[in-house]
Every structure is written in structure tokens, then in C-alpha cells.
Structure 1
Amino acid sequence: MYRCTRAFTILVCAALLASLFVRGSAPSIAFVILSQHSDYDTSLAYNLRDSLTTQANDTNIRIGVFVSHVDLSDVNGAWAVVPLFKRLRSRLQNSTVDWLFLCEHSTVVNLTALIDFLGGYNPAELHYIGRALVDESPTIIHHFFGYDRPPESRFLYADFAGGVAMSWALVDHIDHLSAEKPTDFAIDPKHEVPLLKYFSHRVHAL
């Protein structure tokens, strides 16, 4: 089941090296900062990476950092997010990873809160957790999908700026699904990533 929460905005991000993961009771998380090629974006992304690293050191939590336009620059279509999954799975195949956390360079970080929150979820299940957004009117970049559905079946998608946590089981699942149904069309990744599995695993608000 996908889950998007309205009440809890996770404020986190960092990046990642395959060798830097915690084994133990705390969930292991691969953080990816979705960034762009500009001096401004790079500066903010690196500030976020450094902030998270400091928090990790202060709490004895080992993490790593992927800044997407630097560490994943060879992934074609990386801005669409889904193409990143195959590369991440390849790089981390020898690591124990429970969660993937996606965010933007402007995301504010609270690592301890994130670790505590994700500890309540099973990463072997399909979870998609973030601040829920919903279209209240027809939206052309979303192909007019979902705005007119009844409340019990509204299509919820998560805000990358607030942070999105995906269980690693879901990362695997979506990567396999995208390989079976490839597309070269993308406009708004935050809407299109959960849409891949919407019809078989509904997105619910917590």
C-alpha cells in the first residue's frame, strides 16, 4: 500500500555512498537530493548534504549522499526520477537498504525525526510516504487525471520539496514495472511516480 501523509512533512535529505549504511535497529536510508546544473542549486544541495552529515555524526548514524546532477549525472532522464531507480539498485546491490528518501535542495533536514518515524513502517511492504497533494481542478500537466474522483478514491501524490520516503520494496517494484511498461514521456515526476502503481495499490492519507 502506498501512503501519503497530510499531517507529517518529513524534512530531510542527504546523499549516498554504497559503503555507508547502518546495520541494526535503525532503518538504513539512501538519500537523494534532486538537483540541477547551476551554481545556486549546487550550493544549496551541498549545504543540505553537509547539514545532514553533521546531524548523522552527532547522532552516530552513518549515512551517505547522492546529489543527483553530480553523483547520478550519467543517468539519462534523471530529472524524471524513475530512471534513477535502476542505477541506485545497481550501486546498492551489495548494501542493506530499507528506504529511499527523495527531496529537493531546499528541503530542511531533521534526521532523528525521520529515523524515528520510519521505524514504524515495514520496508518490505510497499510504502510511499510524504505530504499529500491533490488536484482540486483539472490540471493539464497531470492529463486531467484524478481531480473529479470521489473523496474515498482521490489520487494523492507527494511533494518532493517536503521529502518523500519510499520503501526499498517499492523502489524494486516500480523499477520492474517501468521496465515492463517503458515510457519516454514525463512532465511532473512527483505526480507520475505514484501513478505507476495507483491502480493496483491505492495511495492513502495517514
Structure 2
Amino acid sequence: MWLTAVNWSLCFFFGSASVHVEQPAQRSAELEELVIVIQSQRNSYHVQRSYQRKEEILQEAANLGQGVPVVLLLHELSDYEGNWSILPALPLLSAIYGESASWFLFIEEETTAILRVLLKVLKRYPVQEEWFLGQRLHDNKPSIVHHYAFSEDPTSFGYPDPAAGWALSAPLYQRLAERIQYENLKSDFTIDLTHEIALFIWEDGRGPKLTSVPEFCTETRDNCATTFTTYLPNCGDPVSKTDIFVAVKTCEKFHSVRIPVVKSTWEKDATHLEYYSDVTDASIPTIKLGVPNTEKGHCGKTFAILRHFLSEAMPKVDWLLIVDDDTLISLPRLRRLLRCYDPKEAVSLGERYGYGLMQNGYSYATGGGGMVLSRMAVSSLVSSGCSCYSDDAPDDMILGRCFTSIGVPITHSPLFHQAQPDDYLGTRINPQHSISFHKHWNIDPVAVYRNWFQDSHLRDEL
């Protein structure tokens, strides 16, 4: 009986005490505690678009009268080009804003943030906890773009649609900023930004998964916190066909297999086009540059093309497009995109990958998706003396390293694709008016061209 009384007394004591313990209040985010990072690029067109987006956000904040968020253009954070991959930038972002920011929101230049809705959304998630928010995407099948991750069940892993924006709460970004300073990434390559960030955050199941937020939108609908315009902006009439020179890299063993595909699909949309091979074939015709064929890399051939482009024998045009013989491309869409860029500026444009970005590495435009260079970029690179360490070095990576060394930024467009259409999530590529795809493995390339590009010269120029 005594023991029972004692036990009852202890239970009563601790139970009563627990009633009086004050739990920390669940604090909601305020607008001035929000840092909006616009994933801007150094090219002048993208700088202009980013400043326009920043002014729109600040104007909306002024109209709301509920405080002013920090709006940061990513390219202004530091001189390091690799900040576009976000993870290298986290320690600096945390050091500058970590004491005052409850949330970081990352958006693209064409993403609109509706602050009054965004604030309501963020208030649902206590800022004391780790949150990773966005519009959830998942692969439907294993993809080479994602290194075949989660091959047994690709749908099990979610990553955010970059066009809809994505957000990190303070406890999460602070922990990530610490991790990134001592932990190596599993791959030296940065290919699909938000998928790789989601993998790093997930930390093999030890970290949080992405929380899907329906108000993070790409298409405009009721109650959206973010919306997205387009990856293919309208900057005016497309550049003239005569302003683009197309260089197709090929070799003898593919003359009868791949060149007929080019000729039956997109060659007709080019005014200036030449095929560069290891042999002369008058039936195509091809041009022999005096560089032996290599099974990989093709750096020697590409640098020979760059020098040839600047020679007196060539038409003096604004843009050089270098593609593989198994690249499928819409030249009308490319002409429309190029209207946004100044050919007097050193421009290197394509699908941007990164190599060793956590170790002060470099970015490059992937070769298979097509590398677009302004005449100024070609001239700057050739005159720099930068060159291949061997003929079979990876040409796109060497070009990226050279451009980095001379201060020419790699400008990204997700309309270019290093892989085939089926390697990408349909919801990400269907709305984009894609410009290119690459490789003929296990597909009918003519059918792929017809499906994606056949009428592009009609649809895109109306």
C-alpha cells in the first residue's frame, strides 16, 4: 500500500510538473525573414531578366506592406561560377543570412513568386524544423540523367521542379551548409541540379524527403505561390538562317548510318552547314581537317573546327553551332532563342553540366546537345592559346575549362538535351519547346524528329 502511494505521488509530481513546462512556441515565418535567391546567370540577357524579376518581387512586397524579403541574384553572390549548382554556395549564404533568415526560396529567372500566397504557405511549416519544399517530380523509369538512381522503384524518390521553385527552412540549410564543408559528393559531375540536391538532402534516408506543396506551380491556377512563364522567351523575330554556321562532327564509319538522318530531317533548315570527318567523301560532302578520328573525346577535331570558322575561307556569321552526327535539333527554335543574345558578347550556350564544382571546378556545355558559340567567344578562345591535351580529350569539357580560364560564362538553357527524350520526365520537357536531343540508340531517330521537331518551323514562327 505504501509503495502504491509513493508511486502514485511520484506520478502525480512528475505529471503535475510536466503541465507547467513551457514548450517553445511554434513561430511562423515573416516576410523579412525570407531570402529569395534568383538563379541568375552572368550573360547580359539573363542579368537583365533577373533584375526585372527582382524589381517585381520588391514592388509586390511594397504593395503588401508586410515587410521586405531579401532578393538575391545568385551571380552576384561571389565570383565563383560554380555557385549555380547551389551546394557550393550554401556556406556563404548561411554565413551572410543565417542569423536572420527563416527560409531560403530558390527560383529561376522566369519564376514568379506571389508573396501573399507564399507567406501563407510557409506559415504551415514551423520554422524550427527541417523542411524541404517544392513541387514533387519523380522518374517513371531509371534514367541515365540521374545515374539510374532508384532503379528498382524510380517513383519512390521525389525531387523539386526547378521551374516551380523550392525552399529550405533555416535548420535544414544551416545543417547542409556545415555538411558541405567536410563531406564529398558521390559524383564529381553536376547534371540535374534539383535531383542531386534532393539526394544530398535525403542523405541515404537520414535526412528529410521533399515535401510536396501544391501551391508551388508551373502553370497558372488559383492559389499559386509560384508560377512559371517559359524557357523559350519571345525576344522578337528569329535571327536569320544566314547568321548561323552549323558544324557537324562525323567519321567514316557513320557516313552511311547517321548522315542520312541529318539530311532527311533538319539539314534543310540550315543555310551554312558542313560535315567534318576523318576522310573526304564527295557524296555528302565531308571536309577533312587533318585530324585523325578518335573513338572518344574529339577535342582535336573540335578545335580544328574553331580555327576553321575564323578563317578567311568561311562566311563571317555571328553564331557557330557544333553538333554530333547523332544530334537531332530544331534550328527554327534555336534561331528564336538566339534573338535574346548579343552576338558581340562572348556567349557559350547549351545544356550546362559541371565538373568538380565543390573543388573549384568548371562548367561546360554538353557536346551532344549542341554547343552554340558567338564569334566573339570563338575568337577569344582561339586567341587565348588554350588547347587540347590530346586529340581524344573530351571536347566539351576542355572548351568549358578554357572558357572558365578566360572568364567566359557557360550560359545554360534546358532546351538542349544530351540524352534522348525518354530519358527525361515528360512533364519537364513537353512544355519547353525543346531544341535538341542526342543519340540514336534503340530508337527510330527520324520518328523522334518528326514527333518533336517536324513542324517547329511552322509552330514556332507564327
Query: What is the TM-score of this pair, normalised by structure 1?
Result: 0.79
CA distance in structure 1 between the partners assigned to 2:193 and 2:84 by the alignment: 8
CA deviation string 1:82-108 (max 9, x = no partner): 111111111124x42100000100101
* Map of 2:61 onto structure 1: 56
The alpha-carbon deviation at position 168 of structure 1 amounts to 1.2
Bigger relative contact order (CA 8 A; separation at least 6): 1
Which shifted more, 140-149 or 119-128? 140-149
CA offset at residue 197 of structure 1?
2.9
Count, aligned residues: 180
SS at match of 1:165: strand
> Radius of gyration: which is bigger?
2
In the alignment, which of 159, 167, 170 is matched to residue 168 of structure 1? 170
Which residue is equivalent to 1:177? 179
> Any conservation in 1 of the 2:131–2:169 contact (CA below 8 Å)?
yes
Residue 145 of structure 1 pairs with residue 169 of structure 2: no
Task: Give runs of aligned pairs for residues 1-206 of structure 1, distance below 5 A.
Answer: 26=30, 28-60=33-65, 61-69=67-75, 71-75=76-80, 77-93=82-98, 95-149=99-153, 154-183=156-185, 184-198=188-202, 199-203=205-209, 204-205=211-212
Displacement, 1:25?
Answer: 6.2
User: Aligned pair in 2 of structure 1 residues 111, 88: CA closer, same or farther (>3 Å)?
Assistant: same
Task: Say if 2:142 and 2:154, in contact at 8 Å, map to a contact too.
Answer: no
Tell me the amino acid that sits aligned with residue 201 of structure 1.
G
Q: What is the CA RMSD across the aligned residues, in angstroms?
A: 2.1
Q: Secondary structure at the match of 2:180?
A: helix
Provide the C-alpha distance between the structure 1 equivalents of 2:118 and 2:80, rounded to a whole number of angstroms.
Answer: 27
Partner deviation per Cα, 1:118-152 (whole Å, 9 max, x = no partner): 0111122111111111011221121111253276x
Amino acid at match of 1:115: L
Cα drift, residue 109 of structure 1: 2.0
Task: Tell me, in whole angstroms, the C-alpha distance in 2 between the residues paired with 1:30 and 1:181.
Answer: 25
Retained in 1: the 8 A contact 2:94–2:174?
yes
Within 2, Cα distance between the matches of 1:114 and 1:128?
A: 15
Contact 1:80 1:188 in 2 (8 A): no
Identical-pair percentage: 26
Q: Give the TM-score of the pair, scaled to structure 2.
A: 0.37
3-state DSSP of counterpart to 1:108: strand
- Which amino acid in the other structure matches residue 84 of structure 2? W
Shift in Å at residue 64 of structure 1? 2.1
Q: 2:159 & 2:208 partners in 1: Cα distance? A: 11
